[in-house]
Structure 1
Amino acid sequence: MIKPICKDPQVLSQPSQPANLQDWPIAQDLLDTLVAHQKECVGLAANMIGINKQIIAISLGPINIAMLNPQITAKEYPYQTQEGCLSLIGQRTTRRYQEITLVYLDQTGHQQKLSLHGWAAQIVQHEIDHCHGIII
């Protein structure tokens, strides 16, 4: 189900709680909302739809993927960049890493490991920041 985007800084600045498989409907709502905003958005975190859970959804070109409890386990090659956010007005400067490795739970509850670089890595870092209550 497509959900409204939360723009309340107090909600967005709260660290999210771990998710479990019973929270998968939230992940599906994120995927649906991501598709609805595909022209202006490449990633969402659950707190962006008002739910305090560690769940993100990202667009990797033609594929959209949801992740429960994503955690970055390695990062290399820092750089400064400008980012915008569907929950905020304008762009802000932030520090990102060109290459990351992360672990997360998929929709079956299995832990997955993924290495990303470039734009995909930047998207995931932005959404994981949301899970930690970090607003760019």
Structure 2
Amino acid sequence: MVKETVRDVFFLGQKSEPATKADIQVGIDLQDTLRANRERCVGMAANMIGIKKNIIIVNMGFVDVVMFNPVIIKKDSPYQTEEGCLSLDGVRPTTRYENIEVEYMDMNWKKQKMKLSGWTAQICQHEIDHLSGRII
């Protein structure tokens, strides 16, 4: 189901809770909502649709990947950039890492590990920040 985007900075600034297998529907809602906002959005976190759970979705070109309880386990090559967010107006400066490795549970609740670099790594880092209440 396509959900409305939360723009309440107080809500977005709160830390999310671990996801469970019972939260698979949230992943489906993130897929639908990202698809509906495709022209202006490349990733989302569950709190952006009003659910404080550790779930994100990242566009990786031809596929959108839902990640439950994602954790960055490796990162290197920091750089400065500016980012916007569907939940906020304008852009803000931030530090990102060119290369990351992330562990997460997939839609079948199987543990995955993925290496990302460049643009997809940046998107993933932005969305993971949302889970800890960090707003860019």
Q: Distance in 1 between matches of 2:107 and 2:37?
A: 22
Kindly provide the CA deviation profile for residues 28-86 of structure 1, in whole angstroms up to 9, marking residues without a partner as x. 00010000000000000000001000000111111011010000000000000000000
Gaps of 5+ in 2: none
Deviant stretches of 4+, over 4 Å? none
User: When the two structures are superposed, what TM-score results if normalisation uses the length of structure 2?
Assistant: 0.99
**Amino acid paired to 1:36:** A
Is 2:37 the partner of 1:37? yes
User: When the two structures are superposed, what TM-score results if normalisation uses the length of structure 1?
Assistant: 0.99
How many aligned positions are there?
136
Is 2:79 the partner of 1:79? yes
Secondary structure at 1:130 match in 2: helix
Q: Distance in 2 between matches of 1:14 and 1:65?
A: 24
- Structure-2 residue corresponding to 1:15: 15
Secondary structure at 2:87 match in 1: coil
Secondary structure at 2:17 match in 1: coil
Is 2:97 the partner of 1:97? yes
Gaps of 5+ in 1: none
TM-aligned CA deviation for residue 112 of structure 1? 0.1
Coordinate RMSD, CA, aligned: 0.4
Q: Distance in 2 between matches of 1:27 and 1:133?
A: 19
Secondary structure at 2:122 match in 1: helix
**Amino acid paired to 1:59:** N
